[in-house]
Structure 1
């Protein structure tokens, strides 16, 4: 998209979130999750909205498919599982570590070149096993290592400097910023730093959904389509064996989905229908059922989404409640408690 055709950057303001789900215990509302939801029809128009979908916000790791697309546009030759890993917030499983090492090897680099923060594995079971084995935090096991390895590989292929690849002024990050604007259809509102150390670009929730739709509707073989195909075909590499986002892509044919810290979810279908969700308090327990309800609003068969309606709330080890969607969003087949 030519810069002159981009929408203006979304406003940086306090988001006007709305209630999206209630925490129900024993028939009493114990808590309220606020957030925002947007559903795009196949023609790109907004078919449903709740809350504030136009304020600037940080997509966090839900932006990774866009970052991966930018790198492929810049010459990154990865395909399949390794390209999926480049767009991943991985769980720290051995296959993720092996994949990140392989990307670095292809670039002629090592783990020492990574500039993401050292961390423990993201998946709780994998993390516990890692700690029991006496292993320390590392850059390779941190959930963004695939993206960072791919960033380094892209820099090596283009002759760009390596030590400062996370500087927003670096050629790589400039390419990524341009791709964020192109796919979202709007100018970037603000630039900050993500948890892993990479630049983080603020767009609107509407813009994030638009970007996902652009990726899933791209022509076969285009950089966007290569990223979408890789993530859908290797969903566990883009997340992990036990992660809800991988299960969602397996459950809904053709769906591309990506989660992000602080309660962000984006998903899109091959015909351009797309949803984006932001939970104000960052709670995953609301993100998953709200995203499922948004997909039902987009026309996905609710029968494919029942596993994502949310976990029962327990009291004394027994179900006593749930996260119940607000009436504006709810689809009856996704309700798991009265």
Structure 2
């Protein structure tokens, strides 16, 4: 199998300071690889890039309709939120509507990931909360599904729980795999987390962008709803100044990242799905890598690429805004 290749080099004072290696895979509707850097079969844990897929069973079973959840609340099921005020308001409303109690969430109490929200909370002597955890929307969605289906809520995070088994079946279907081919571990929030090859992960994201590729009509309808909600409520999906809201502002792209360097997106018009892994686990380089992928395939919406470069400029400036270095993407997409 191909080794990881250098994706981004960082220079300071003309000298190479950091090197970020990784893998990239782009697939077509038939699931075959069209573009590759490194090993398209590299197996990675999805981490939070799984969330739009993990949300599918709740929508298939009508949790949003049963509990009258609005679009920002549905978006939280697929979100890695930063506990900004708009996120907390949606989460508290979800609990009120579904009857799920905060203490039922297995994710650990924490402070907001948003620096401004965290500083404001500490300034008023606020305490850590479970809903401040960036995975809490996913947990609330699954707990609401448990309540609707009459399943146990005490062990909803166990791999053997019926909801987790349905999520695993959905993952296998979206990724064109058998369930027994999926490696399952435990995520930081306590949820089961799948590991699959990048080729299959890219195929799943292509289906998120192009639901017509999904044979099951109920799943297809659920994906149409989830992807639409992610576009119309893009600020809910992560946080201010991050890559997901900027990509989701483009209605041609369905995108979501996960911890430890995994990022995925599907392109509707081009009918391509991409998944990438930065092997040192860094997330900072995502905007540069995605921008370079879009440029190399001739993506026509230049404004989307420009927003990515604004998020993570090529120029490296220090705290005094002095130019001190440069980021360079050095990979070339290989046509397979």
Rounded to whole Å, the distance in 2 between the matches of 1:99 and 1:15 is 44
Deviation, 1:137, is 1.6
Deviation, 1:42, is 5.2
Rounded to whole Å, the distance in 1 between the matches of 2:297 and 2:53 is 22
Describe the SS at the equivalent of 1:285: coil
User: Does 2:220 align with 1:229?
Assistant: no
Rounded to whole Å, the distance in 2 between the matches of 1:82 and 1:297 is 36
Rounded to whole Å, the distance in 2 between the matches of 1:172 and 1:130 is 34
Rounded to whole Å, the distance in 1 between the matches of 2:141 and 2:306 is 35
Deviation, 1:114, is 1.4
166-175 or 99-108: bigger deviation: 99-108
Rounded to whole Å, the distance in 2 between the matches of 1:150 and 1:86 is 6
Unpaired stretches in structure 2, ≥5 consecutive residues:
none
**Any residues of structure 2 matched to 1:211-230 within 5 Å, and which?**
211-219=204-212, 222-230=221-229
Unpaired stretches in structure 1, ≥5 consecutive residues:
1-13, 331-338
**Any residues of structure 2 matched to 1:1-338 within 5 Å, and which?**
16-41=3-28, 44-77=31-64, 78=69, 80-187=71-178, 188-219=181-212, 222-250=221-249, 252-271=250-269, 272-301=271-300, 303-304=302-303, 305-309=305-309, 310-311=312-313, 312-315=315-318, 317-329=321-333
Rounded to whole Å, the distance in 2 between the matches of 1:205 and 1:108 is 38
* Kept after mapping to 1: 8 A contact 2:246/2:308: no
TM-score in terms of structure 1 length = 0.87
* Kept after mapping to 2: 8 A contact 1:114/1:148: yes
TM-score in terms of structure 2 length = 0.87
Rounded to whole Å, the distance in 2 between the matches of 1:307 and 1:92 is 23
* Structural RMSD (CA): 2.2
Deviation, 1:43, is 5.2
* Kept after mapping to 1: 8 A contact 2:76/2:236: yes
* Kept after mapping to 2: 8 A contact 1:71/1:176: no
Rounded to whole Å, the distance in 1 between the matches of 2:25 and 2:138 is 27
Q: Deviations over 1:268-288 (max 9, x none)?
A: 122432211111112122222
* Kept after mapping to 1: 8 A contact 2:76/2:137: yes
Describe the SS at the equivalent of 2:235: coil
- Runs of 4 or more, structure 1, over 6 Å off, are none
